[in-house]
Amino acid sequence: MDSDGILNSIRDQSGETEFYLPLPAGYQLGRTKFVIVFGTVMSGLGKGIFSSSLAKCVQDKGLRVSPIKLEGYLNIDSGTLNPFRHGEVFVLDDGTECDMDLGTYERALDQDLSRLNFATSGQVYRRVLERERTGAYLGRDVQMIPHVTGEVKNRLRELAIATKADVVFVEIGGTVGDVENAHFIEAMRQLAFEEGQHSVCFVALTYVLEPPILGEQKSKAAQLGIRRLLECGVQPHIIACRAQSPVTRKVREKIALFSNVPPERVFSMHDCESVYLIPELLRGAGYDRAVMEWLELTPRANEEAERVARERWGAYLNRLRNATRQVSIGITGKYTAVRDAYASILKALEHAGAHLECKVQVRWVDTSELTEETAGEALREIHGIIVPGAFGTRGATGKIACLKYARTQQLPCLGICYGFQMAVIEFARDVCGLEDANSTEIDNECRHPVIDLLPEQKKIEGLGGTMRLGGQDVLVKPGTLAARMFGARTRLRFRHRYEVDPRYLPQLEAGGMIFSGKSPRAEIMNILELRESLHPYYVGTQAHPELTSRPLSPSPFFLGLVHAALRRAYPDSVQPLAYPAEAAGEESSGVSPALTSHEWRMERT
């Protein structure tokens, strides 16, 4: 039965039908195309990187694309997940706390995504149960099939309508065979059945083993993983083979034989220097052509749009690959054992480095056991540091020690969220003489709570209720470094609870700290800095600027840090930095020469 037959069966309410096909208003079956990406063999293969790169290839052809990540866990969102277990929590502009792969999509596609681009099993089940309680299922017994799978399909179609997407890219989290993903895979099988031929393209991302002791590639694990997908009723149209080195023709032919996929649609996707090289790797292998042909989209491709997009991307890649200078940036945090906890920071540094034509080498500094006495040795060979976000008390003392060293030794420094708060505490203690200054998150009984929940926040109950989440407008103080970065106003993304207590602003500002960005609606401080005559680059923000950094438009906060690090590493050969706001003609405050540590102390006094 085709899609029209299904619809006719549903419209005939005189008898029972097994078809359950809720469609959003205005949705037409077969109009939107879908690319579904599954993982086999093991997790962590880079499905998000692969899917976003493939989506970029299609987007560059002039088509409107929209991604969605389907996660099997029962959490409603990613807000309470431990970074050690799940990597960073990525926050969207609308405040959605989601999987880090959404950051990969935003950076690759240069799009601001929303809650519609992320769905967990918890969200799906909650909506099904809410509908059952309101009688939306007309007395039917509510089941995994068709109601839960129907809700999954409904999420995809709602996204297609809301974004007017030509192609929706769907990434299924985890791997085929995971119990928590069974309803997602079944929903995708049904989606292909309902949308009609050549409306859905299934892509299986698998892994080809290459044990060093054998010295050759082995495809058996990949074969078995794809067989699990076939057992679910899903016939892949394209297979992407992840491996350390290019997958041989012999191995690709063997996988083709056991998966019913033509050899010309079994591709190698081996490791490369940067994830931003992958779109060109996919084009060179013919992935984009295979997808366009299967979905019958080739006539809609815009060759001129693709040429322009590839030229812009190629210019970025050239700067990335041809950089000759190098700086070392330390990330001083407590999750340094898990690099994914700082994934967006790593990408933001790469963006800024490419813009400034230098390579950024990351040094990991675990602050859990760091003290004021040991901080200097840990940071001695570093050209700049980032003090990243966090929650809780562990590692706070080490971060404060790093900030003091950076401030007093003229080391370029960027404090992010929790790092911003620790910078205020360190300055209050060492410069303003408030020895017991602290955050009530760390010490609820401290005498000088320079960082605290604001009164209106204390009235909110429930985990996460006090969080300030998502995009917020920020007013920028004229004549500051922040004004050079952004002009008079900007928008940043936030994920925090605690704020600078306004009662201490006069003392902090009298000591020389400048609060150069604030909320337009309340006394909420968003950006701090020291005068450039006091420090080459000492900046903090309550926001998470790494979340909005893009390859072709790097975050000004990271640009400033990497540029200051370059000046420290190459003091005689670095040109002044023109921020994007200055290039656009916004207000500039000028650049003051940095003082020595002795001059800084004298001016502070």
For residues 281, 285, 305, 555, the Cα torsion angle rounded to the nearest 10 degrees is -20
Which secondary structure element, helix H or strand E, spans residue 448, and what is its range?
strand 448-452
pLDDT digits (tens, 9 = 90+) for 498-552: 999 999 999 999 999 999 999 998 789 999 999 988 999 999 999 999 999 999 9
End-to-end C-alpha distance for the chain, whole angstroms = 83
Residue 12 lies in a domain: no
Q: Which residues, other chains included, contact 5 with Cβ-Cβ below 8 Å and sequence gap of 6+?
A: none
Q: Which residues, other chains included, contact 568 with Cβ-Cβ below 8 Å and sequence gap of 6+?
A: 327, 383, 384, 410, 411, 412, 536
DSSP class of residue 142 equals P
Q: Average pLDDT, stretch 94-121?
A: 95
Residue 232 lies in a domain: yes
CA angle, residues 369, 80, 521, in degrees to nearest 5: 95
How confident is the model at residue 594, as a pLDDT?
32
Residue 213 clears pLDDT 90, i.e. is over it: no
Nearest to 186 by CA among 145, 228, 155: 145
Residue 3 lies in a domain: no
Per-residue confidence at 2, pLDDT binned at 50, 70, 90? low
pLDDT digits (tens, 9 = 90+) for 159-199: 999 999 999 999 998 889 889 999 999 999 999 999 999 99
Q: Quote helix, strand, coil % in the chain, to nearest 5.
A: 40, 20, 40
The reply to whether 377 and 332 lie within a common domain is: yes
The reply to whether 311 and 345 lie within a common domain is: no
The reply to whether 176 and 35 lie within a common domain is: yes
Picking from 299, 315, 331, the residue at the C-terminal end of a domain is: 315
Could you give the CA distance from residue 237 to residue 261 in angstroms, rounded to a whole number? 6
Question: Which segments of 95-148 does DSSP mark as H helices, in order?
Answer: 101-109, 121-133
Nearest to 581 by CA among 479, 473, 485, 481: 485
Number of Cβ atoms within 10 Å of the Cβ of 376: 14
Residue 8 lies in a domain: no
The reply to whether 384 and 443 lie within a common domain is: yes
Residue 83 lies in a domain: yes
Picking from 286, 315, 344, the residue at the C-terminal end of a domain is: 315
Could you give the CA distance from residue 496 to residue 467 in angstroms, rounded to a whole number? 5
Residue 592 clears pLDDT 50, i.e. is over it: no
Residue 6 lies in a domain: no
The reply to whether 294 and 441 lie within a common domain is: no
Question: Which segments of 323-395 does DSSP mark as H helices, in order?
Answer: 343-355, 372-378
Q: Contact, 528 vs 420, CB < 8 A?
A: yes
Picking from 288, 315, 342, the residue at the C-terminal end of a domain is: 315
Residue 15 lies in a domain: no
Which residues are tagged catalytic?
417, 544, 546
Burial of residue 495 (CB within 10 Å: 0-12, 13-18, 19+) is: buried
The reply to whether 395 and 424 lie within a common domain is: yes
Q: What is the CATH number of the domain that holds 346?
A: 3.40.50.880
Higher pLDDT, 3 or 22: 22
Q: What 3-state DSSP class applies to 575?
A: coil
- Total residues belonging to the chain: 605
Count how many domains the chain has: 2
**Exposure b/e, 434-456, CB count within 10 A at least 16 = b:** beebbbbbbeeebebbbbbbbee
The reply to whether 248 and 374 lie within a common domain is: no
Could you give the CA distance from residue 372 to residue 492 in angstroms, rounded to a whole number? 32
The reply to whether 373 and 265 lie within a common domain is: no
The reply to whether 345 and 310 lie within a common domain is: no
Number of Cβ atoms within 10 Å of the Cβ of 367: 26
How confident is the model at residue 59, as a pLDDT?
97
The reply to whether 365 and 269 lie within a common domain is: no
Per-residue confidence at 593, pLDDT binned at 50, 70, 90? very low
The reply to whether 450 and 511 lie within a common domain is: yes
pLDDT digits (tens, 9 = 90+) for 344-381: 999 999 999 999 999 999 999 999 888 889 998 999 99
Residue 12 clears pLDDT 90, i.e. is over it: no
Q: Average pLDDT, stretch 256-276?
A: 89
Q: Contact, 203 vs 236, CB < 8 A?
A: yes
pLDDT digits (tens, 9 = 90+) for 242-251: 988 899 999 9
The reply to whether 416 and 474 lie within a common domain is: yes
CA distances from 45 to 97, 208, 271, 287 (A): 23, 11, 10, 17
Q: Which residues, other chains included, contact 13 with Cβ-Cβ below 8 Å and sequence gap of 6+?
A: none
DSSP class of residue 330 equals E
Q: What is the CATH number of the domain that holds 189?
A: 3.40.50.300
Residue 60 clears pLDDT 90, i.e. is over it: yes
Domain that residue 359 falls in: 323-604
pLDDT digits (tens, 9 = 90+) for 440-486: 999 998 999 999 987 655 555 444 456 789 999 999 999 999 999 99
Nearest to 498 by CA among 409, 557, 407, 419: 419
Residue 337 clears pLDDT 80, i.e. is over it: no
Longest CA pairwise span in the chain (Å): 89
Residue 7 lies in a domain: no
Could you give the CA distance from residue 105 to residue 83 in angstroms, rounded to a whole number? 19
Number of Cβ atoms within 10 Å of the Cβ of 303: 9
